């Protein structure tokens, strides 16, 4: 069921953290969909950010999680897709605000800049926080067309 499916993708730098986050996704009762990369061989982050963006856009997954060294490059790639709102988060506060205000449907984390326990707390906050709607909805709608 797509609305319980969480897609995950990373480059080589994010591979180990992606595996940890996929376990947490399953522990929290969601269905992880691992779009790669599948080992530590060097790959190009845009390929994986774009593929995860397509998975969210076409409904294969309700939400997505991206990991690269800083979370920056892979989130830029995903945000090329007008259906994606990928939020680079470095703490639980920004994860909460990304859901409340931006209705973010993709979480991006930097494996070289955010430790694994912090990353897991960020993912929990992201999955637990609903969108606030209201005045934020008009702005979110604009992100689909700008």
Q: At what angle do helices 116-128 and 92-102 cross, to 10 degrees?
A: 30
Q: Which three-class secondary structure state does DSSP give residue 132? A: coil
d(CA 141, CA 74): 23
Contact, 74 vs 14, CB < 8 A? yes
Q: Kindly state the smallest distance separating residue 70's Cβ from its own copies, in Å.
A: 5
Q: How many residues bind its own copies (CB under 8 A)?
A: 39
What are 43's two structure tokens? Answer: 């790959």
Residues 6+ apart with CB under 8 A from 41: 12
Q: How far is the CB of 42 from its own copies (least distance, A)?
A: 8
- Report CA 79 to chain centroid distance, whole Å: 11
CB closer to its own copies, 32 vs 106? 106
Residues 51-110 touching its own copies, rule: CB under 8 A, are 69-70, 72-73, 75-77, 79-80, 82, 85-90, 93-94, 97-98, 101-102, 104, 110
Q: With binding defined as CB under 8 A, does residue 40 bind its own copies?
A: no
**Distance from the first to the final alpha carbon of the chain:** 30
Q: Which residues are catalytic?
A: 68, 101
Binding site residues, its own copies, CB under 8 A: 42, 44-47, 49-50, 69-70, 72-73, 75-77, 79-80, 82, 85-90, 93-94, 97-98, 101-102, 104, 110, 112-113, 135, 138-139, 142-143, 146
């Amino acid at each position: 069921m797509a609305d319980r499916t969480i897609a995950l993708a990373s480059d080589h730098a994010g591979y180990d953290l992606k595996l940890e986050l996929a376990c947490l996704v399953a522990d929290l009762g969601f269905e992880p969909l691992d779009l790669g990369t599948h080992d530590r061989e060097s790959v190009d982050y845009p390929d994986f950010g774009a593929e995860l963006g397509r998975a969210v856009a076409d409904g294969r997954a309700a939400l997505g999680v991206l990991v690269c060294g800083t979370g920056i490059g892979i989130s830029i790639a995903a945000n090329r897709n007008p259906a994606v709102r990928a939020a680079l988060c470095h703490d639980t506060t920004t994860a909460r605000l990304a859901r409340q205000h931006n209705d973010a449907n993709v979480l991006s984390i930097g494996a070289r800049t955010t430790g694994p326990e912090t990353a897991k707390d960020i993912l929990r906050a992201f999955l637990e926080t609903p969108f606030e709607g209201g005045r934020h909805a008009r702005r979110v709608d604009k992100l689909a067309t700008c």
